[in-house]
Amino acid sequence: MKNIESCWTEVKGRIKKTLPDHSYRMWIDPVELLDFDQDHLELSSPNDYFIKRLKDNYLLTFKEEFSKLGVDDIRIDFKVSSKKETGSGKNNKTSDTVSAIPLVANRSKQLELPGLQLKFNNGRMFKKGFTFDDFVVGDNSNFAYSASLSLAQGNINGSSILYLLSKTGLGKSHLSQAVGYHIIKNSQSKRVYYVTAEDFTNEMIFSLKNKTIEQFKEKFRRKCDVLILEDVHFLSGKDATQSELAVTLDYLLEADKKIIFSGCELPDEIPKLNDQLRSRLTLGLVTEIGKPDYSTRVRILKKKSKSFGCKIPNHVTEYIAQELSDDVRQLESGLFGVAAKGQLMGYNIDIELAKSVLANITNVKKRISIESIKKLVCKEFSLSEEDIVSPSRKKRIVKPRQMAIFLSKKYTDQPIKKIGTSFNRYHATAIYSINAVEKELKQKGVLFEQMNYLSKKIEAGKL
């Protein structure tokens, strides 16, 4: 029989050749040989969840690879081990250690973990399924995925900051949450705060009004191990929030905490951002997620259909991937529509059914443009196209203009800078318009009803 230690090294090498790089780094690379004898092997694992995944997905693979090397009928067990404990046999002894910081539940931490159920006590909920395991990696996202996984497991070449850049619906929120989810799963004592830039702003304003700003500072500066801040472009023009966040980031960086930003624009392209904050946003690695190519879209659809619990024929999946190419959300919408119509109406899931469902999505998408939205808003508010792009500050023109800019961002994939130019407005003014509409929408007043009406017209293709 070969030496078990050399066999283990060879087994890992063989498995590495058969798995995608990200899967190997996620599940196999961290596993170490702890102890062994002729018919028994003990391997390390960081936690119970990790052990479950290894047993479910890789235990048989381990045994098959050992068998190929002449090691048959070996029993493999896993043991939770926070450190790499290498053993060269039963005679090896390891000293017991006690953590300097007791690993007890801390009320400040974001998630409690009874078994595999997640309970949130702070910030936003992580969306179910937004894990590394559920992310479909393609050429468009491989770098962003690898960087996110590296940060979750340690750091990125010494850096603890990551900026995820992409348009809406391409996966930056998925990866942001996957980092937090992975960290909490593997270290329950870590305090992970997951908030949007708007959440941070609102909480700061609330703290100022209620004279609890010191508690706010304490929470984000000293009680946070990992800060995940989404939609940083929202901070444009918000001077007080920018100053507070910049100081908070200094505290976190000094303490070597992990920070993940996400946004639709590069830090250098976000207008009305002070130099202090901009410099901190650019300290780490910036990774962009692009549109998925055809083969990646097919794999996304297959994974989604499995999670939906429905069987979609391959030729239908390929047709959907061919027709819908903008983003992952659009793919999900098309897939769900096909599956739902087939189930509810009792139809066979075939190309004809897919065509009938996707027709609404693709035809409407082809007709939606900045110009078509501009014309719709002008018609509904009895304005001329000259009015809506004019320098006029009259209220009857300003509000419809802001609404048209907001709708252009929502329903087209054009960058905000181009949308602003289309309305003869600076980039910063376009962002201000979008933020103004978002703020008023929350009041659910007249503008809320008007936007619902316009959105329904756009989505129905009545442009």
Q: Which helix (H) or strand (E) holds 241?
A: helix 239-254
| CA nearest neighbour of 86 among 31, 32, 159, 9 | 32
Q: Are 325 and 358 in contact (CB under 8 A)?
A: no
The residues facing 256 across adjacent strands are: none
272 in a labelled binding site: no
How far apart CA 153 and CA 179 sit, in angstroms, is 9
How far apart CA 10 and CA 24 sit, in angstroms, is 14
CA R_g for the chain: 26
169 in a labelled binding site: yes
Length of the chain: 463
172 in a labelled binding site: yes
171 in a labelled binding site: yes
Compute how many other C-beta atoms are within 10 angstroms of the C-beta atom of residue 93.
6
Q: Are 173 and 262 in contact (CB under 8 A)?
A: yes
Q: Are 257 and 249 in contact (CB under 8 A)?
A: no
3-class secondary-structure state, position 108: coil
How far apart CA 264 and CA 12 sit, in angstroms, is 39
Q: Which helix (H) or strand (E) holds 378?
A: helix 370-380
Quick one: tokens of 143? 């770098």
How far apart CA 6 and CA 9 sit, in angstroms, is 5
Looking at 282-367, list the stretches that DSSP marks H as alpha helix, in order from N- to C-terminal side. 294-308, 314-323, 328-345, 351-367
Quick one: tokens of 332? 């999900």
Residue ranges of the binding site for ATP: 169, 171-173
Q: Binding site: which residues?
A: 169, 171-173
